Amino acid sequence: MILDDIVEKRKEQLNREKENFSLEEIKELAFSSTRTSISFKDALKADGLSVIAEVKKASPSKGVIAEDFKPVETAKAYENAGASAISCLTEEHYFKGGSKYFADIRSKVNLPMIRKDFIFDEYQIYEAKVLGADAILLIAAILEEEELKNFYNLGKKLGMDCLVEVHNEEELKKVIPCGCEIIGINNRNLKTFEVDLETTKKLASLIPYEAVLVSESGMKTHEDFVSVRSQGADAVLVGETFMRADNIEHTMKELKENL
């Protein structure tokens, strides 16, 4: 399963990161950070359909998406185009992302930023805070219920929001007891990598409380945006469509028209 492979590679990356700072050092840096987070949750709850625009060079399913990768320029284009938040990949092997990209973008844009990564160790949460993240991604498929709860609470304690991602009913059942405020529904099957926008519709109706709902993956057209909006999505996370766009502002306008 590709997700397992990503996590294994991410463990290698984490071992390298731990050579720079020990757990105690990164923890101290995180708790002594004076930066005030920008509310990721509030940005997604704004009127209309909010857009989390993703900065990514590559993906496991598509390989390299942006040959001429300019993360800061892309992020500034997103901000100018009216994105509500920015997602930046920090996984190095499959997504060709990096912490430096995140830090560089953070210093140049004023939108809330989510660290998009595969978190399985508390170290990564402290690291996200140090990088200037306003939110982190927690993927239910790679975490046990107890881990999910602990990581969620740690993220909140550090002043970050948590986007908790599910892609099937089983994972949603794991997430609901946590009372997560922001739930991401990934339309991509993480085993086959096939995309089905009906996943948002199916899972949205099963959430028993009021949560900020994000539809992730596979949205390429205005009709796709309209579809997930009608299914209850407050926000969408879009990467590849923007990374391949000739004109980000024009593409954003087309996708968001009247939403």
The lowest-confidence range among 14-28, 63-77, 159-173, 180-194 is 180-194
> What residues are paired with 214 via a beta bridge?
184, 235
Nearest Cα residue to 183 out of 155, 158, 154, 204: 204
d(CA 259, CA 249): 16
Rounded distance between C-alpha atoms, residue 242 and residue 81, angstroms: 11
**Chain segment 29-65, per-residue pLDDT in tens:** 999 999 999 999 999 999 999 999 999 999 988 899 9
Instruction: Report the number of distinct structural domains present in the chain.
Output: 1
CATH number at residue 145: 3.20.20.70
CA distance 214 to 130: 25
Q: From 122, 212, 210, 197, select the one nearest 167 (Cα to Cα).
A: 197
Tokens 């991509």 correspond to what residue?
188
DSSP class of residue 167 equals: -
Q: Which residue type is seen at 95? A: F
Q: What's the pLDDT tens digit per position in 103-138?
A: 999 999 999 999 999 999 999 999 999 999 999 999
Cα–Cα distance measured from residue 174 to residue 169, given in angstroms and rounded to the nearest whole number: 9
**Whole domain around residue 87: which residue ranges?**
2-256
Q: What is the CA radius of gyration of the chain?
A: 17
Q: What pTM did the predictor assign?
A: 0.96
Give the closest residue to 116 by CA, choosing from 104, 129, 128: 128
- Annotated catalytic sites, by residue? 54, 56, 116, 165, 186, 216-217
Residue 185: the pLDDT is 97
When pLDDT is cut at 50, 70 and 90, the band that residue 219 belongs to is very high
Cβ atoms of residues 242 and 236 within 8 Å: no
- Give the three-class secondary structure for 257: coil
pLDDT of residue 191: 75
Q: Is 169 exposed, middle or buried (0-12, 13-18, 19+ CB in 10 A)?
A: exposed
CB 238 within 8 A of CB 51: yes
Q: Which residues pair with 139 in a beta bridge?
A: 165
The tokens of 230 are what? 């009608």
Region at 218 (left for phi over 0; alpha for psi -120 to 50; beta for the rest): left
**Mean pLDDT score of the chain:** 95
Q: Is 192's pLDDT higher than 80?
A: no
Q: How far is CA 56 from the centre of its chain?
A: 11
Task: Report how far residue 101's alpha carbon sits from residue 70's, in angstroms, rounded to the nearest whole number.
Answer: 9
Q: Are 113 and 161 in contact (CB under 8 A)?
A: no
